[in-house]
Every structure is written in C-alpha cells, then in structure tokens.
A and B are shown apart, each in its own frame.
Chain A
Amino acid sequence: RVLELTGCAASMVASSRSYADFTPEATFDIKKVDLHRLEEGPPLTATLTREEGLKYYRTMQTIRRMELKADQLYKQKIIRGFCHLYDGQEACAVGIEGGITLSDHLITAYRAHGYTLTRGGTVREIMAELTGRRGGIAKGKGGSMHMYTKNFYGGNGIVGAQVPLGAGVALACKYLGNDQLCVSLYGDGAANQGQIFETYNMSSLWKLPIIFICENNQYGMGTSVERSSASTEYYKRGDYIPGLRVDGMDVLCVREATKFAADHCRSGKGPILMELQTYRYHGHSMSDPGVSYRTREEIQEVRSKSDPISMLKDRMLSNNMASIEELKEIDIAVRKEIEDAAQFATTDPEPPLDDLCSHIFANDQPFEVRGATPWTKLTSTS
C-alpha cells in the first residue's frame, strides 16, 4: 500500500512538472577524436535535445535489459548454442544509428542483437529468435547470429566475412545512385583478417560509400589486443583510408563521429574508418565467463566510470533535461517490454516441421528434398 502510494505520488510529481520545466536542449563537450589522414575531425561539442536523450536512453536501456534477459534464458537452457551479448557496447549501436538513417545500410558480425533492434527489429521477435520459435525474426531458422531486417544484413557468423559483404552493399548504393551508404562493422579480433584489407583496397579504388567501423572492445574472445595485433591502432590500419578513433562509451561522441563519417562518404570521397573504443561486460559468449583473461576489477572499473547509460543519464539529470522519476518510468516500461517479450519467446511454439526444408531457393517451384533416409521425401517451398 505504501509502495502504491509512493509510486502514485511519484507519478503525480512527474506529471505535475510540465515539459516546460525541462531544458529542451543542451550542448556537451565531447572527447577529442584521434585523427588519421584527416585535417579536421568531428566537432568537440554535441547538442542533445530532450527527445533525443530520452530516445537514446530508452534504446540503450532496452538493449541492456534485453541482453541481461538473454543471459538468464541461456542459463536456463532456453536459449542454446552461441549467444554473444552486447551489454556495455550500447553507445555504439545507438550512436551510429543517430548519425545515419534507416535508409542507409548496416552489416555486422555475430554480436548483433543490439543492431537488430536499432535497425528496426522488435525485442519480441529478437528474443523469440534466440529461443528458436516461429515468431522469431528469422522464424527460428537463424538463431542469435542470423537476424535480418530491412537494410540490415545480419548477423554474420564467419569472422571478417561481413566486411566485404558490406562493401558490396556500398557498391550497390553507388551503382544505383541513391546517396545511401553502408556501415560495415567488425571487432578488434576480426581487424587482422586479410579479406578486410582486400576490402579496404577495393573500396578505396572504387570510392565506395562505406564506413568501416572497428568496435574495439579490447578482447577478441580471450585474446587481448596486445596479443593479437602488431598494431593496435585500428583506426590507422586502413593505411590510405582516413581514420578516427572515438570514445565508444559516449553515445554523443559516436553519433558526431558517425555524422562526420557519413558526410565524408556522401560527398563522394570514398571510404572512411572509425575505431570505437568500447567494452563488453560479458565474456565473448555465454560459454565464456570472461574473467580468465581479464580481471573482475577491470570490468568493475569500466562499469563504474564509463558505463554508457549512466553517462547519458548523468548528463541529462545534471542539465535538467529529464527527471529521475521520468527515467525510472522508462526503466519500468523497458522492464515490462522485456518481460512481455521473454514471455512470448518462451511460450510461442517452435517452427512447424513443414518449415524444415523451406527457404532454400527464392521464387522457385516447390521441390523435393531428401530426408535422413531414402524413403523420407520432404518438400521445400520458397
């Protein structure tokens, strides 16, 4: 009863403060970006509106809670196989989306749940894909690493393969003359892949509208950057490609850098490379506790000093752009959204067996597929 009253009181307090009480917009200093082959970089300040702040807060919190729920479901064995969680890196996905539009294109590797959300997927269909149900975004056929939305090409399991794919999407943008670009992401672990250097070369030769983004979270699985890379200056690895090294824990930093990079691409200058310095709280995947190759102290330090959600929250509160109660309401709403999604993801039925062989070929007549025995004749439809 007391909690009810308190809650009631809080919402009364919140609603009694009209929007006119809040600062509609504020400008923040952001960290200077390290530049490679660039005379000028993104601005040193970023302007944030109240609407943007609330949107970024809500989206980052949604990713955070969704990933933590996935952790729970994985430990309950309701999610199987690979599950690579994104908590800690939320500012990257949200900041990037803030610098481009949904008519631009994006491709990433397997730590993709956050991007599936920012690219238009819903928590429901993401979680139901993780639990392998028919309501999943890929109808249960793909799983954690293979989720797609419009202008979002996954979710890719093979380290580095997504980078040339992204350049291909960029080539299509240039070919079709639609002024769109493609953001092609990879991690510090993938950054040494040969095919990425092949892609740097062709993208530069052909001036493709591609933004290469290295999400450097310091560890490729259990291997620290110092142990994997002769040069850890990933923003310079594109050599002849201009580069930026950006604080990936600050959503505004990421956004401004992305806007800068997008302008570069759209002006026909060709590719540009951004390194986002970020951190993952979880291990590489759910089968990695994440503490054999790094200390708990290190993880805790990042959490307390650099958490992207806390950083945004502090900025908004200290500039009177939102109230604590308002943000709490968002938290509650997000929690509910995640709970509902988890409920759906655990109760939605698995895909029908009829679906086993479907989606082999597009726009084709149905055809027979050999089952496990010569007498098992299955059918594939498009």
Chain B
Amino acid sequence: KVQVWILSECVSLFQVNVRDALNQAMDEELERDERVFLLGEEVAQYDGAYKVSRGLWKKYGDKRIIDTPITEMGFAGIAVGAAFAGLRPICEFMTWNFSMQAIDQVINSAAKTYYMSAGAQPVPIVFRGPNGSSAGVAAQHSQCFAAWYGHCPGLKVVSPWNSEDARGLLKAAIRDDNPVVFLENELMYGVPFDLSEDVLQKDFVVPIGKAKVERRGTHITLVSHSRCVGFCLDAASVLAKEGVECEVVNLRTIRPLDVDTIEASVMKTGHLVTVEGGWPQYGVGAEICARVMEGPAFNYLDAPAVRVTGVDIPMPYAKILEDHSVPQIKDIIFSVKKVLNM
C-alpha cells in the first residue's frame, strides 16, 4: 500500500496485480450472490491453472467451485443450461483456444437464445480465460479470439488491460444478465497496478461498452485492447520525446464497440492507428477502420487509418520467431511516424 498526495488530498493506493484483481472480483461476487458459481478445469483443488481462482475452493467448497473433466463442449453446455435454470455460472476455459471445442455452446446455445425465445430465456453466464499469445506455447495455444466472438450478436465481449479493468469488468460481467466473453491475458496476470480505494469498493464496476482514454494527446489516436494497450503507452512515451503526443484509447470492450469515444478522438487528432495482438484479416482493427470510414470521423482524417497486428502466421515456437510474430513497440512507433508522414 502506498499513500500519495493528489491535489492536496492523501489517497491510498494499493498494488494489485491482474490475477489478484480477478480473484478478488470473483470472491466478492461469489459472496454477494449465492447463484454465482465457478466451473472449469483445475479451478478448485489446483487453485486454477494460472492461480486466478486461488483460495476460492477452500472458502466456498465443492458446491460453488467445481472441477470439471477435460470436456469443454460438455461443461460449457452444462454451464449454459445452469444459466437457463436461474444460476449465474462463471465458465472458465483454461485458455480460449480450448473454447473452440465448445464454441457451439457459446454461440448457438448462449448468445442466440434470448433472441430466439423473444425474450423468454435470458442467459446470465460469463465465459472467461486467458486469450491471445503467451510465451513459447506455440501455434495451438496462442490464438486471439476477440474477432471471432466480437463478430456475434447476442454476446458481450470484453478485453481488460490492467487491474482496474480486470476487476471492474469482471464484476460487471458477472452482474450482467447476458452472456459475456471475458478475454484475459496470461502475460498480464502477474503485472501489478496501483488501485485506489474507490476501485476496491465492493460495488465498483467498469461499464461494459465504454472505452477509456488512458493518455490524452493531440497528434494521433492509438486504439488498442488488452496487453497491447501497455505497448501503446510505452510507444507514446518514446514518441513524446520527439514531440509527438499520442492519444491512447483502451477499448476495454470489443463488443459493443465504443465507436463514439474512438470517433471523438479521431476527430481531434486526425490520425488513427489500431493495435492488436490478433491476426489482421477480418480483425478488431479492420472493424474499427471500417466504422471510422462510415462515420463522421472520416472527414477529419488527414491520412488513411492503419492497423498494427500480429503477423499473419500460426505462432512459431523459437523465441526470435515468436518475438517477430507479435506487434512490438517499434512497430507502433514506425506506424505512427508513417501515418504522420515523419
């Protein structure tokens, strides 16, 4: 815990890493509402494959923290059925790669049911787990699913970056009466951030569907989600030394996309670069660019909007290759300078 002075007021800041933020959010929501429960592989007695659910089984027991066999399609379906019948499940996929085994249940059973039933059957479920690239886990364990799930009506899709995002969005997701796809990032789990007392209040939620401007700037807008937000902020620091002030927008939510915040920023800066870890084709950046083209912000663009993305290949294993498969800070800086014609 750290105490700082902000505008002559003493504010306590607590260092909380993303993992603990997620853990605390789940703990508080489990306590708040008896209908909330967690199921997934290794979530109970193992304390979670990535320790996100550490301590929860000890506190809440077998009824509310359920270890499943390695049968994603089955347990995702069970989770959705439990939501049909009035419970509020949190269904963990050990990584989102394994959700492909169960994707039919997420899309056809969860996302579409409220619509097909004309409002008779809500589905209050959260699917969560680490998404996107990690370190050295190779092609089958490194895919980003933001674009795939972000494509589908009936889902809310969120992608937190820091601890405040993780805590607030997970609480919002659990309290939401609709299916939420919660895309975490393994490499962010151990990263600490300072949280104020306000953020640590039990009813603190980050509204789904609202982006956050993490850094104000005037020359160019960087729009990103998840771990890449940090890279954008790092790139912005470097660029600031050369007199380029970047505005960094943290999407927080993939679907619904906060187009208003993006447009307001682009209309201010006249330049746009999107940054994501996923592949370029039909991706999050592609959607943002299309929306900007179709809306009022287009007339304010002084250059074409461009995307910085993961390289369009399956993820390789060797470190040097892996490092060159994901967007690096230098790629962001390079793209900014290109767009600004520097």
Chain A positions within 8 Å of B, measured between CB atoms, are 105, 107, 138-142, 146, 148, 153-154, 156-158, 161, 163-173, 175-176, 182, 194-195, 198-199, 201-202, 205-206, 358-364, 367, 369, 374, 382
Neighbouring A residues of B69 by C-beta, 8 Å: 198, 201-202, 205
CB pair A156–B109 under 8 Å, yes or no, is yes
CB pair A141–B81 under 8 Å, yes or no, is no
Is B140 among interface residues, defined by CB-CB distance under 8 A? no
Q: A362 with B109: in contact, given A165-B81, A168-B78 (CB under 8 Å)?
A: no
CB pair A164–B108 under 8 Å, yes or no, is no
> Interface readout for B108-135 with A: 1 if CB under 8 Å, 0 if not?
1100011111111111100000000000
Within the complex, the shortest CB–CB distance from A8 to chain B, in Å, comes to 45
> Interface readout for B64-91 with A: 1 if CB under 8 Å, 0 if not?
0010110101111111111111110100
19 new A-B contacts, CB < 8 A, other than A138-B116, A163-B77, are: A107-B81, A146-B116, A153-B81, A153-B84, A161-B77, A164-B75, A164-B78, A165-B81, A168-B83, A172-B84, A195-B77, A198-B69, A199-B77, A358-B118, A359-B119, A361-B114, A362-B114, A362-B122, A382-B119
- Indicate which residue in B68, B73, B115, B177 contacts A141 across the interface (CB closer than 8 Å): B115
Within the complex, the shortest CB–CB distance from A291 to chain B, in Å, comes to 32
Measured CA separation A129–B83 after assembly (Å): 25
Query: B89: nearest residue on chain A (CB-CB)?
Result: A168
Query: A142: nearest residue on chain B (CB-CB)?
Result: B116
Is B256 among interface residues, defined by CB-CB distance under 8 A? yes
Chain B interface residue count, Cβ-Cβ cutoff 8 angstroms: 47
Is B178 among interface residues, defined by CB-CB distance under 8 A? yes
Within the complex, the shortest CB–CB distance from B222 to chain A, in Å, comes to 24
Q: A165 with B84: in contact, given A359-B119, A362-B122 (CB under 8 Å)?
A: yes
- Indicate which residue in A169, A175, A362, A374 contacts B37 across the interface (CB closer than 8 Å): A175
Within the complex, the shortest CB–CB distance from B111 to chain A, in Å, comes to 9
Within the complex, the shortest CB–CB distance from A366 to chain B, in Å, comes to 12
Neighbouring B residues of A168 by C-beta, 8 Å: 77-85, 89
Is B104 among interface residues, defined by CB-CB distance under 8 A? yes
CB pair B114–A167 under 8 Å, yes or no, is no
A sample of 23 inter-chain contacts (CB < 8 A) reads A107-B81, A142-B116, A142-B117, A148-B117, A156-B109, A161-B108, A164-B76, A164-B77, A165-B77, A165-B109, A176-B87, A195-B71, A195-B73, A198-B73, A199-B74, A201-B71, A202-B75, A205-B69, A361-B114, A362-B114, A362-B123, A367-B256, A374-B294
- Indicate which residue in B66, B81, B105, B177 contacts A172 across the interface (CB closer than 8 Å): B81
Measured CA separation A169–B81 after assembly (Å): 5
Neighbouring A residues of B81 by C-beta, 8 Å: 107, 153, 164-172, 182
Q: A360 with B153: in contact, given A141-B118, A195-B77 (CB under 8 Å)?
A: yes
CB pair A146–B85 under 8 Å, yes or no, is no
Within the complex, the shortest CB–CB distance from B311 to chain A, in Å, comes to 30
CB pair B82–A175 under 8 Å, yes or no, is yes
Measured CA separation A360–B117 after assembly (Å): 10
Chain B positions within 8 Å of A, measured between CB atoms, are 37, 63, 66, 68-69, 71, 73-87, 89, 104-105, 108-109, 113-124, 153-154, 156, 177-178, 209, 256, 294-295
Measured CA separation A199–B105 after assembly (Å): 13
Query: A198: nearest residue on chain B (CB-CB)?
Result: B74
Neighbouring A residues of B209 by C-beta, 8 Å: 367
Within the complex, the shortest CB–CB distance from A376 to chain B, in Å, comes to 11
CB pair A176–B86 under 8 Å, yes or no, is yes
Within the complex, the shortest CB–CB distance from A342 to chain B, in Å, comes to 21
Neighbouring A residues of B84 by C-beta, 8 Å: 153, 165, 168-169, 172
Neighbouring A residues of B79 by C-beta, 8 Å: 168
Query: A170: nearest residue on chain B (CB-CB)?
Result: B81
CB pair B121–A153 under 8 Å, yes or no, is yes
Measured CA separation A163–B74 after assembly (Å): 9
Measured CA separation A195–B66 after assembly (Å): 19
Measured CA separation A364–B207 after assembly (Å): 12
Neighbouring B residues of A358 by C-beta, 8 Å: 118-119
Neighbouring B residues of A195 by C-beta, 8 Å: 71, 73-74, 77
Neighbouring A residues of B104 by C-beta, 8 Å: 158, 161
Within the complex, the shortest CB–CB distance from B184 to chain A, in Å, comes to 22
CB pair A172–B82 under 8 Å, yes or no, is yes
Measured CA separation A153–B116 after assembly (Å): 11
CB pair A362–B87 under 8 Å, yes or no, is no
Within the complex, the shortest CB–CB distance from B73 to chain A, in Å, comes to 4
Neighbouring B residues of A201 by C-beta, 8 Å: 69, 71, 74
CB pair A359–B115 under 8 Å, yes or no, is yes
Measured CA separation A173–B87 after assembly (Å): 10
Measured CA separation A199–B118 after assembly (Å): 28
CB pair B105–A161 under 8 Å, yes or no, is yes
Measured CA separation A163–B178 after assembly (Å): 21
Neighbouring A residues of B119 by C-beta, 8 Å: 139, 358-359, 362, 382
CB pair B71–A202 under 8 Å, yes or no, is yes
Measured CA separation A279–B124 after assembly (Å): 37
Within the complex, the shortest CB–CB distance from A175 to chain B, in Å, comes to 6
Within the complex, the shortest CB–CB distance from B127 to chain A, in Å, comes to 13
